[in-house]
Structure 1
């Protein structure tokens, strides 16, 4: 690719849920878009959608995980904000919700993903090719100890309202990222500290007995393939290096966070 120059949901309801999740994921306005085929862990091939918004200086991708969860990443370069969202299918026969939305908001650091103008120029010679990441960036474990007020979320990033519309009570971040944004002038009133397991001796949700009891939940997701860096080439005819392609990466995340009821962490109920 070069720039020019799962879960046990009955079959019928599951199809409807997948269609609903696709509609929810598509909200957010017109952008330059590219679709690529990527190989997931375990060998399955899935279609990934890449988006670039040059005017808003942001990029995004979305991909369906092997268990049916729809995962997306939104990188807001202007506000230094990264939003990872998961729309997780429930198991209806166990009395769970049809789907549950989670948003994890962290500071966007330099060189995590290619810039929006580069993403907008991506093309592929063979749309049927199956992409595999050239670099594995490993697992990042993040303890999310703060909540974001959805009603004020646009002050943090204008993308938060669209991306996290289904996760109004499940938008998590970290104190260390909040400190950075406060230095950028973001209002502290939109953040709220969450109870910690050390303060209240909270159990992991998989070990909590009562479905209504508070606990510490864990959720993991993986970005199997994304354009993480630009490649530069050298030529005798050019005095300086020039952009000649991209480098792709794979990245996994494990989030831990407080939930007021164990039933809000259903994927750990059988753990």
Structure 2
């Protein structure tokens, strides 16, 4: 009985600590089309990560994970299928990129935010425009721990559809201080197909992948484009100046957050156009 009480006591302590380290915010956001949707933003200080999740009006579920410790951003997208057009019930893609810290406030700062008016409809103060990502590599999530330990569980439903870029690999190599060959074992290329010509000394020729928007063949492999928008997120802290006292330099203090929205366009390899029907 004593052992059971001690075990329950440990669980209570762990739950308390988890509550301290993890903070959730539920934000009501209005997009450009006037639709209102809810974003859930979770900050985990002990892991130094933030996750942001929302569901679009078409049912698409978007989850963004920021791993500050390893400078990794993962955007996971669950798209509902059009079964009447031969698609599966849903498909999941993961887009893994190098993360620059100036794009989001820290997990610690995020954990300290509180909502005075939870029902308020939020509109971002700053539009950071479009960023294009050409995802030219497949990433094997089971071999991605060198990049971030969170990828393997976060992208477990996207075993054949997790993507990254050569540019991101180069950034992580510099951060980790490891050989390129070691990190490249987790990825493989799909942007071109090498065709051998034995009659010309085994030389190769690259064939570019056609854009899904440019083919009518539903079974053809192609380059798919997916556009997403993070409609509201805390992108920085605001600083105000305190009152100056005589000749003293006015002091500054944190007095709020700056909020932004950002568009992403991911171009990636699709095994068949049938899985990219929105890109028409």
Q: Provide TM-score, normalisation by structure 1.
A: 0.83
Find out whether 1:200 has 2:207 as its counterpart: yes
Deviations 1:33-86 (A, max 9, x none): 111111122101111100001011111101112221111111101000001111
In the aligned structure 2, how far is the partner of 1:75 from the partner of 1:83?
Answer: 7
Q: Provide TM-score, normalisation by structure 2.
A: 0.81
State which of 189, 197, 206 in structure 1 corresponds to 2:185.
189
Corresponding residue of 1:49: 40
In the aligned structure 2, how far is the partner of 1:79 from the partner of 1:46?
Answer: 30
Which stretches in structure 2 are left out of the alignment for 5+ residues?
Answer: 1-17, 194-204
State which of 206, 214, 217 in structure 1 corresponds to 2:221.
214
Question: How do 1:78-97 and structure 2 match up within 5 A?
Answer: 78-97=69-88
In the aligned structure 2, how far is the partner of 1:44 from the partner of 1:196?
Answer: 40
State which of 243, 254, 274 in structure 2 corresponds to 1:243.
254
SS of 1:179's partner is helix
Quote the RMSD (CA, aligned, Å).
Answer: 2.0
In the aligned structure 2, how far is the partner of 1:182 from the partner of 1:256?
Answer: 23
Higher relative contact order (CA 8 A, sep 6+): 1
SS of 1:85's partner is strand
Corresponding residue of 2:108: 117
Corresponding residue of 1:6: none
In the aligned structure 1, how far is the partner of 2:175 from the partner of 2:187?
Answer: 15
Larger Rg: 2
In the aligned structure 1, how far is the partner of 2:37 from the partner of 2:271?
Answer: 34
